[in-house]
Structure 1
Amino acid sequence: MADLRPIEAPFVALGPSGVAIRTRLKQLTPKDEKVLRLLGAHLGSLASKDLKARCAHGLEHSTDTWAVRKRELTAVSSSRWAGSITKATHDQWALARRCQLAHIQSLETGIRTIAHRLSLPLGEKGNKRAPGGYRSQQEWRAKTRRLHTLEDRLERERAAREVGIVHVVRGGKRLARTRHHLADAQLTEAGWRQRWEAERWFLAADGESGKRYGNETIRVTSDGEVSIKLPALLAELANAAHGRYVLALRIRFPHRGQEWADRVEANRAVAYRIHYDVARGRWYLTASWQIPPTQTLPLGAALTEGVIGVDTNADHLAAWRLDVHGNPIGRPRRFFYDLSGNADHRDAQVRHTLSRLLNWAKSCGVRAIAIEDLDFGAEKTREKHGRRKRFRKLISGMPTGKLRARLTSMADHTGIAIIAVDPAYTSRWGAQHWQKPLTSKNRKTTRHDAASVAIGRRAQGHPVRRRTAPPPHDRSDRVGHRTVQAAPEVLGHEEPRPRIPGPRTRSAGAGRGENAGDQCAQHRSGRAAEHGSWQQDSLPLSH
């Protein structure tokens, strides 16, 4: 049997470190829209020039070069607009560096996998840890050419990273490539141009504590008035004092509105971003601020009322509630979602599913939800799974990282802790030890339901295995008859079995069990002290 990899200990996931809420800018006048478009286009051009300058500096960036860039932007905008633009530029460049490193690691993984498979004889079967050889000589030659291609790409990426070269597209690489496939995207050139320009606008301002309403550049009062500080080149469009433009509307935040109002009344920092959705023809305002991470419950305290184990799948979440001893209670629950369509639809499906899961957890009185700490970043490459396109598409569609982040954020104010567990062998061991025992004539337990039980037990610190087998072939009990559920340190695990009224077997009548609690009085080969940790536990399994 192959060696199993070590299982990491479960941990309580940290809460969110920030808040973002959004509302729609309704009833904008034509002049309001004109000002927003001109302002976004002007600041967007400045942001593009600043990003180009930052990329040109590469690894030679310093505080001096940053100060020079900020002074140049201040002359054509304002000091606060310049600060917001340069900060956004630094974040974008740093993100590009992280993506570059991830791409290099992906190339290295692909090269290692192809080289390993090329070294094996044709047709050799693989195992669960490593793939086998290629199936034909034609495939072997094609993968040889691909190996050289990946090696060339890796060499270029490493050379670019050493000198600090990154590749960034303001507006998005996907939208830029769509320009060459307008028919497939069902767009006209004018429609694509409108989306492209809107994505490259810059209408974001960082907050500053101590200033009026927490932001001097885009100011939103507690009663919903929105005003914007215009740069020097657009100062003639101002309709208020000090070069400000006030929008002819009042906004409110339906979600966390009171929390936002308390924050702006205290003049605490709030960052704002104005965004135009071309497809809907609507303007939106997003407010965001940082919060101290929520103090998470200790693992033991979170498990005092049991746990709900959740198995993540491509189209649903399989959940089952477990008591404090690791026994499943009630019936399994399934929460379905549809991840087809655009990103907004997928995100709405995930949020709706998690809302139902959290509502069920609150109705059960459970204080913890256990979910796998999944990351398929290195598991969905074509080099590892070859022609299994259907399987690669399946695991690529599973919302693993986004789902846990969403669940942690949504559970922040519910008092429910999110426990992340190691995903190793949960599906296999769950099906092996729990699927058949939990299946009855009235309930068909799926492999995913059994995996949710395994996940919950792992979060509680119990072994996934349902019971421990007895010593083989003793005189009275045969293999598989007497088993245990509780660990040796559980109180009462060595007590005699409770007396059950009525006959215990067909050969013993009622009232013949006087010695049932006296292990020494029974006809056995050894005393009670000789019985090991496989003695029957007084805590029966729940059904």
Structure 2
Amino acid sequence: MGIVRGRSGSPKSRRLHVLKDRLAAVRADWRAGRVRIVRGGKRLLNTRHHLQAAGLTEEQWRQRWQARRWFLQADGESGKRYGNETIRVSPEGQVSLRLPAPLAHLANTPHGRYVLSVRVRFAHRGADWADRVHAGRALAYRIHLDLQRGRWYITASWQIPPAPAIPLSAALAHGVIGVDTNAGHLAAWRLDTHGNPIGRPRRFSYDLSGTADHRDAQVRHALTRLLNWAKACGVQAIAIEGLDFQNEKTREKHGRRKRFRRLISGMPTGRLRARLLSMADQTGIAIIATDPAYTSRWGAQHWQAPLTSKKRKTTRHDAASIAIGRRALRFPIRRRTAPPPAHRSDEQEHRTAQARAGVRGRQETRPHDTGSCTRCMPPGHWAKAGDQCAQHRSGRTAEQLLLSP
């Protein structure tokens, strides 16, 4: 008598059932109005059961737990005095709190307010904060305890209005900086208005290991150096690839290619784009998102070898940054082709096969020779000879101009 063995299904189907169960649990909590939030953090809460592995005593853990839960936060409102009624900070740095009715007897000033004895100041963007305070515009404050330093800090935040859109031609009037995003660094190269690389390539490294605050600080530091270099060069636009790996990291799509999934997971595309847009608005630099197709391959094919010398080694990422910058400038990625060999075409009539005589900057296709030819060409064969996009890639070479919100 034979034994029939049942199959448990493929890994994809099992993972689908697990995701459906998680979705059902989340929907049940949402219908019941149950919010699963741990004040202080779920990771710190679980550390309580593994104090020896974390190297903490119960008292040290209790101090961290209380420090995470000791904070006071209030959103601002435009039209109120100094931009916030609950937590009010004067231009001189005096902090006062609006106490609730059960605690009104603890107030040390009229109208149920408690004034702190210390003064505060904002070292970062203090001028912007002072302008909003004098104008009575909305300011949100958060008071929290830093356990390691043993100090209380107050953080001010406000919403930045959308920046006005500028024409693409105006943003590219002084050239562009092409940036290639990689796992661990940003490769950048400056291009002039004709699409030619200027100077030497730059590399801005970052380390995405460690905590979330450390990773965010690393990305912010790399972008700060990139924007400072753009300001020093006088460039008003930065071209970056419009990458989005949100749907590319799944195991269902790439299977067991763990190395490739780890590589694309190490590229902070979404976080980098959001941070770059917000930081570029403060410096007046426009961000251009370009089509990422074949930039690394074509850049290495047309620019890596010509720009490599004994004193400078051009990497594949540096060549890709040139391709990104040229695509933002609406130029083809390829370089000017060499003339044909002698006794094969026209005795090297043109030293370059794309630029017309007297035109130094514009790179165009070679003009059609109307003389005799050995083969018969169909009508309209040269109709799209000057169309850069048709020869290179269908669609637009530069997708859109992005500015920080």
Smaller-chain TM-score bracket: 0.7 to 0.9
After TM superposition, give the deviation of residue 332 of structure 1 in Å. 1.1
In the alignment, the residues of structure 1 paired with residue 245 and residue 13 of structure 2 have an alpha-carbon distance, to the nearest angstrom, of 22
The answer on whether the counterparts of 1:296 and 1:417 sit within 8 Å (CA) in structure 2 is no
Residue type of the partner of 2:122?
F
Q: Which residue of 2 aligns with 1:371?
A: 240
TM-score by length of 1: 0.59
Partner of 2:311: 442
Amino acid at match of 1:161: R
Partner of 2:144, secondary structure, is strand
Quote the residue 1:281 is aligned against: 150
Structure 1 residue 380: Cα displacement: 2.4
Offset at residue 227 of structure 1 (A): 0.8
Flag the 1:444–1:157 CA change in 2: closer, same or farther, 3 A: same
Q: For the residues of structure 2 that align with 1:148 and 1:531, how far apart are their CA atoms?
A: 56
Matched residues in 1 for 2:196 and 2:179: separation?
A: 15
Please tell me the residue identity of whatever aligns with 1:406. Answer: R
- From 284, 289, 296, the counterpart of 1:420: 289
The 3 A distance-change label for structure 1 pair 142 and 227 is: farther
Measured in 1, the distance between the counterparts of 2:322 and 2:37 equals 45
Give yes or no for the alignment of 1:484 onto 2:354. yes
Cα-to-partner distance string for 1:253-289 (whole Å, 9 max, x where unaligned) = 1122122222212222211111223343332211122
2:194/2:362 contact within 8 Å kept: no
Q: Aligned equivalents of 1:391 and 1:404: distance in 2?
A: 21
1:298-356 residue CA offsets vs partner (Å, 9 max, x unmatched):
21211111110011122221111112222222221112233333333333332332222
Q: How many pairs does the alignment contain?
A: 366
Are positions 1:339 and 2:205 aligned together?
no
| Residues 190 and 380 (structure 1), Cα distance of their counterparts in 2 relative to 1, 3 Å cut | farther
Match of 1:188 in 2: 57
Residue 169 of structure 1 is aligned with which of 2, 27, 37? Answer: 37
Compute the displacement of 1:161 (Å). 3.2
Aligned to 2:161: 292
> What is the CA–CA distance in structure 1 between the aligned matches of 2:355 and 2:276, rounded to whole Å?
32
| Other-structure match for 2:89 | 220
> Aligned partners of 1:446 and 1:231: how far apart in 2?
62
Report the RMSD for the aligned CA atoms in angstroms.
3.8
| Aligned-partner residue type, residue 217 of structure 1 | T
Q: 1:333-412 maps to which residues of 2 (within 5 A)?
A: 333-412=202-281
The answer to whether the 8 A contact 2:355-2:362 is kept is: no
CA 1:338–1:148: 2 relative to 1, 3 Å: closer
In structure 2, do the counterparts of structure 1 residues 365 and 236 end up closer, same or farther at CA, with 3 Å as the change threshold?
A: same
Query: CA 1:152/1:475 → structure 2, altered by over 3 Å: closer, same or farther?
Result: same
Comparing 300-309 with 463-472, greater Cα deviation is found at 463-472
Matches within 5 A, 1:310-349: 310-349=179-218
Amino acid at match of 1:210: G
Whether 1:244 aligns to 2:87 is no
What CA distance in whole angstroms lies between the structure 2 residues aligned with 1:465 and 1:181?
58
Opposite residue 169 of structure 1, the aligned amino acid is I
Q: 1:404 to 1:153 in 2, by over 3 A?
A: closer
Change (3 A) 1:493 1:384: closer
Q: CA 1:154–1:227 in structure 2 vs 1: closer, same or farther (change >3 Å)? A: same
The structure that has the greater radius of gyration is: 1
CA distance in structure 2 between the partners assigned to 1:470 and 1:142 by the alignment: 64
Distance 1:524 1:299 in 2: 42
What residue in structure 1 maps to residue 135 of structure 2? 266
Correspondence for 1:40:
none
Matches within 5 A, 1:196-215: 196-215=65-84
List alignment gaps of at least 5 residues for structure 2: 1-6, 387-405
Which one of the candidate residues 330, 353, 365 is aligned to 1:461?
Answer: 330
Using CA pairs under 8 Å that are at least 6 residues apart, name the structure with larger relative contact order, 1 or 2. 1
Partner of 1:348, secondary structure, is helix
Deviations 1:446-477 (A, max 9, x none): 11001101111121222333357999999416
- Could you say which residue in structure 2 is the equivalent of 1:150? 16
Amino acid at match of 1:148: R
**3-state SS in 1 of match to 2:232:** helix
Residues 309, 371 of structure 1: 8 Å contact kept? yes
CA distance, structure 2, for counterparts of residue 231 and residue 211 of structure 1? 18
Matched AA of 2:227: L
What is the alpha-carbon distance in structure 2 between the residues aligned to residue 393 and residue 266 of structure 1? 49
Kept after mapping to 2: 8 A contact 1:468/1:484: yes
Gaps of 5+ in 1: 1-140, 497-518, 536-543
Verify the 8 A CA contact 1:303 1:324 in the aligned structure 2.
yes
Indicate if the aligned counterparts of 1:482 and 1:534 stay in contact, CA closer than 8 A: no
Contact 1:469 1:534 in 2 (8 A): no
Amino acid at match of 2:169: G
Identical aligned residues as a percent:
68
Pairing 1:99-114 to 2, within 5 Å after superposition: none
